[in-house]
Amino acid sequence: MKKGIHPENYRTVVFKDMSNEYMFLGKSCAATKDSMKWEDGNEYPLIKLDISYTSHPFYTGKMMLVDTAGRVDKFNKRFARHTEKRDAAASSAE
């Protein structure tokens, strides 16, 4: 390995798969502002993952709908507001 190009600030962190709430301890140097208390009572930085081996179709053998960003919910809320306005306009026109 080349000297001076690899990070040296590795620390123990909690990785959390946001699609199924699975958590595990590992080492990372990724920056994060979140932290959480682990089973051993210690506080560790928290790194949120969109997908891990517990939710990836290659490892699980089945497809899962992963919508961690809430795009479908946001669309449904906007569409509900539109239909409410349309229904209110239709009822006031009658």
| 61-71 per-position pLDDT tens digit | 666 555 556 67
> Phi and psi at residue 84, in whole multiples of 5°?
-65, -45
What span, in angstroms and rounded, lies between the C-alpha atoms of 79 and 72?
10
Residue-wise pLDDT for 6-53, tens only, equals: 888 899 999 998 888 889 999 999 989 999 999 999 999 999 988 887
Residue 42: name the closest of 79, 2, 12, 85 by CA: 12
The answer to whether the predicted template modeling score (pTM) of the entire model surpasses 0.85 is no
Task: Tell me the C-alpha distance between 49 and 44, whole Å.
Answer: 15
